[in-house]
Each structure stands twice: as C-alpha cells, then as structure tokens.
Amino acid sequence: MIAIVDYNAGNLTSVKLAFQALNCEVEVTQSPATILKADRVIFPGVGAAGASMRHLSELKLIDPIREVIDRGTPFLGICLGTQILFDFSEEDGGTPTLGLLPGRVPRFQPENPFEKVPQIGWNQLKFARTHPVLRGIADMSEFYFVHSYYPAPKQDEIIIGTTSYADVTFASMVAVDNLVATQFHPEKSGRIGLKLLENFVQWTP
C-alpha cells in the first residue's frame, strides 16, 4: 500500500488519481500507523510552510515521517512536501522546517516584472545526475510547477535535476538514498509525470 500523507496541505485528489491510474493501492491518510506500515510514502502538499508545519505537529506526523525515511521506505516529496524536508523556509516570516535535508528554501525575486511569482506552468528539468526514477524520461522534459519558493540544498551531491526561472537555476529534483523529492508536480505532468511515478513505484532503493 502507498500512503499519501494528508496534513491539511491542499488538495490531494490528483495525487491519488495518478497512482490509481497506475493501478496502485493508495490510501490518503492522517494516521501515523498507516504511514508506518506503508510500502511507500508520498509526501505532497500545496500551501504555506508555516501552517503546514503546525498541522504536521498537531497531527503528530513528524516522527512517523522521520521514521519511515530512516528505515528505508521509498519516500517521494512533492512541491511543499519537498520544501519542508529542508532546514528552513523563508515563507511566513521564516519557518524552521523538518531538517531532513540540509538547505534552505528562499523566495523567487525576479528582476524582470514579467517573470511572475508564483511560477505557474511547465518548465524543463535539466538532469544533473541519473536516477532510477528518471528511467525512460528525456533530459529537458517539461514538468508542471506552481510555487513561489524553491529548494536551495547545501550539498550539490543531492541534486538530480535543475530548473531555471526568475534569474535562478534551482534544484527542482533531489534524492538521497530512499528519498526522492521534486519541486514540480509529477501527478499533473501528463504522460511523462506518470512515467516518473511509475518508476518510483517500481524502484527498490
């Protein structure tokens, strides 16, 4: 069973539908027990870092998330889920986040007023490294993004792919051991996004 962690951070329907399209058994859950017994864990999210950290804490989900990552369960972060895996987000006046990945999450500050924030739409993923989850996907394929903040990892070694927007080239995909995390939304990225999710489902870290 694949657990989709629901911490009141946005609409998870499209995440669920994408895994159902792959014929996976999925459960959208707030239950620590369900997350701990899942074969794979999806950590999605849309919204603000501050409120999300509060919800995670109130729902007592922080320890189960650490535990499944520590014990090697294949783990996929998406969008806000990815951002709050890092140490610190600039959002909401500065929010300390989970600290599972070293790095910060700053806001886009475009010089060009026509580069709007949030970034909304399809942008290219430029591969920095190969990863099993990218099997069968071409370098520079486009994925769907919706975000105002972006991951800035401390270590370049964890960067799997980058994307350029608003004068920065940021880490749009990172991975460490059993953890993969994307700033973009594979579940909304058409056939190519679904391929990434299918690779994740078949991946044995």
Nearer to other proteins, 73 or 163 (CB): 163
Instruction: Find the shortest distance in angstroms from Cβ 105 to other proteins.
Output: 17
Instruction: Find the shortest distance in angstroms from Cβ 148 to other proteins.
Output: 9
Residues between 43 and 82 with contacts to other proteins, criterion CB under 8 A: 46-48
DSSP letter for 22, please: T
Quick check: 1 binds other proteins (CB under 8 A)? Answer: no
Burial 49-74 (b: 16+ CB within 10 A, else e): bbebbebbeebebeebbeebbeeebb
Question: Does the active-site annotation cover 142?
Answer: no
Strand 101-105, strand 86-89: pairing: parallel
# of chain residues touching other proteins (CB under 8 A): 40
Exactly one of 193, 196, 198, 199 binds other proteins (CB under 8 A); that residue is 193
* Those residues with Cβ within 8 angstroms of residue 130's Cβ, 6 or more apart along the chain or in another chain: none
Exactly one of 30, 31, 124, 162 binds other proteins (CB under 8 A); that residue is 124
Exactly one of 57, 121, 135, 177 binds other proteins (CB under 8 A); that residue is 121
Quick check: 25 binds other proteins (CB under 8 A)? Answer: no
Burial tier of 25 (Cβ tally within 10 Å: 0-12, 13-18, 19+): exposed
Question: Does the active-site annotation cover 185?
Answer: yes
Paired tokens of 9 = 């951070």
Residues between 147 and 176 with contacts to other proteins, criterion CB under 8 A: 164-165
Q: Which of 104, 93, 110, 194 is nearest to 154 (CA)?
A: 104
Options 91, 131, 147, 185, the catalytic residue: 185
Determine the Cα–Cα distance for residues 42 and 49; give it in Å rounded to an integer: 17
Nearer to other proteins, 76 or 179 (CB): 76
Exactly one of 17, 57, 60, 154 binds other proteins (CB under 8 A); that residue is 17
Q: Which of 45, 121, 29 is nearest to 77 (CA)?
A: 45
Cβ(170)–Cβ(150) below 8 Å: yes
Quick check: 19 binds other proteins (CB under 8 A)? Answer: no
Question: Does the active-site annotation cover 131?
Answer: no
Number of neighbours of residue 84 by Cβ within 10 angstroms: 30
- Site of interaction with other proteins (CB under 8 A): 10-11, 13-14, 17-18, 20-21, 46-48, 113-124, 138, 140-142, 144-146, 164-165, 187-194
Q: What are the catalytic residues?
A: 79, 185, 187
